Amino acid sequence: MTIMLEFDEIQGNVLKGYRFPQARFLFATVEDQESGRAWVGGVVSRISFATDWGFARPDHAINISFTYQGLAALGLPSESLDSFPKEFQEGMTRSAERLGDTGESSPVRWEAGMGTPERTSQTHLMVSIYATNSSVLTKQFDQLKDSMSAAGILILYEQDACLLSGGKDHFGFVDGISQPPIVDSGDPGRPGDGLPLPDGTWKPSAAGEFVLGYPAQDGAQLPVPYPANEFGKNGTYLVYRKLHQNVALFRQYLTKSATSLRIDEEWIASRIVGRWRDGTPVELSPDSPNPLIACDPNRVNLFNYASDSQGMRCPLGAHIRRSNPRDSLSGGVAAVEGHRLIRRGLPYGPALAEGFDDDMVDRGLIFIALNANIRDQFEFVQKQWMRSGGFINLDPEHKDVIVGDNDGTGRMVIPMPGFPRHLVELPRFVTVRFGVYLFVPSRSALKFLSENR
């Protein structure tokens, strides 16, 4: 049975990747409940929903999401607040240990004290502004800032983000290639984006994996915040993490490892990630990047790991194999279902020029993930797939090289004919600077909030 998505209710960034080159994320606190609700009611007309995208793309898009504390500050009834899952109620700071947010990534070290209990309780909402250029971004920001100030909504924190040349991240890899397509969303995705089936075809994810109020992959429906039809349905959860990337350290480590192992730096980098820097999957082209594959949307993600169970082409611990194991787990597709993430991130900070040492400028990735179940999607992937190697038959201590909470003692095994190579003494290349869990309401939910029924 076909279940139609209510596009006019779902915020636009849930179903569509905007791919705007610039963005600004505003975190704010609601100082007065009544004026805050009135502001929410007034801002609905400026929010981008899934129906706002036709043949001509607008020059900007605005979205809004709320923390649990923010919903409480706006006066959401207790029966609604109590219906949210524990992970959302407690927030990301309470999940720090299981996420690996320790040491330099500990919430107590987050920017502007954003991880302290006082500041966490004050972080009520996030407004995301995406734009085609800086002039449009500034105009939209100024208008929103004025309206927020008039409503007694205080901006606590601002973060700009911007696409880098070639759509690459600061480590030099093309990013955002693989995204799970959603059934009946209007975006079929590319070959290989979905879930692999035994007959070689790929199926999209069920809408309920990412949008509340619809069946998930197993046919069941995830719990929807109360009241379901007026408030919870068509919403989802957003994971926001500011991830500092130590580019200089990454480059130095590649050079050191290449010298020690007598292997080309780019070859090592490709095994760490699972793709060459241009996006070519090492599973399809293990010896070198292939622009014919990298530039072909029908080929760049069309692969699985069925014939590479030992990781001779793509190592078992490669970043993209960990984040989306496809058909390589013992449980088959069922072991991957329910754990996919929609990613909507952007880099922040200027690129570090080749050949330069660390200039001490902050740069990294604004990681944004959308999922209907924080525990079984984002937290599962981070804890089970990024922080452990046990699920891929490696030592449990083997963590992801890129985003794992490595401390200088970890290693990665790279299988090769004859004998494997080992990357050893892995440092931490990515540090968490700020993170928060947010609820992305539907159009009806925003109206519900503004009326405080």
- pLDDT of residue 111 exceeding 80, the answer is yes
CA distances from 188 to 116, 182, 298 (A): 42, 7, 12
Q: Residue 89: which H helix or E strand, with range? A: helix 86-90
Q: What is the pLDDT of residues 118-162, one digit of tens each?
A: 999 999 999 999 999 999 999 999 999 999 999 999 999 999 999
Strand partners, 130: 23, 61
pLDDT the model gives residue 42: 96
**Rounded Cα distance, 18 and 50, in Å:** 11
- pLDDT of residue 193 exceeding 70, the answer is yes
**Rounded Cα distance, 9 and 245, in Å:** 36
What is the number of other CB atoms lying within 10 angstroms of the CB of residue 385?
A: 22
Ramachandran class of 264: left when φ > 0, alpha when ψ lies in -120 to 50, beta otherwise: beta
For residue 125, the number of C-alpha atoms closer than 13 Å in the C-beta half-sphere is: 27
CA distances from 350 to 247, 347, 361 (A): 11, 9, 8
pLDDT the model gives residue 170: 97
Nearest one of 210, 198, 179 to 333, comparing CA atoms: 198
Domain boundaries, the chain: 12-242+435-451
pTM: 0.96
pLDDT the model gives residue 335: 80
Q: What is the pLDDT of residues 341-375, one digit of tens each?
A: 999 999 999 999 987 788 899 999 999 999 999 99
Q: What is the pLDDT of residues 367-415, one digit of tens each?
A: 999 999 999 999 999 999 999 988 888 888 899 999 999 999 989 999 9
Banded pLDDT at 17 (limits 50, 70, 90): confident
- pLDDT of residue 55 exceeding 80, the answer is no
Instruction: Write down the residue that tokens 């079929």 correspond to.
Output: 188
**Rounded Cα distance, 262 and 425, in Å:** 17
User: Is 178 in contact with 320 (CB distance < 8 Å)?
Assistant: yes
Average pLDDT over residues 309-337: 88
120 DSSP 8-state letter: H
- pLDDT of residue 2 exceeding 70, the answer is no
User: Is 299 in contact with 293 (CB distance < 8 Å)?
Assistant: yes
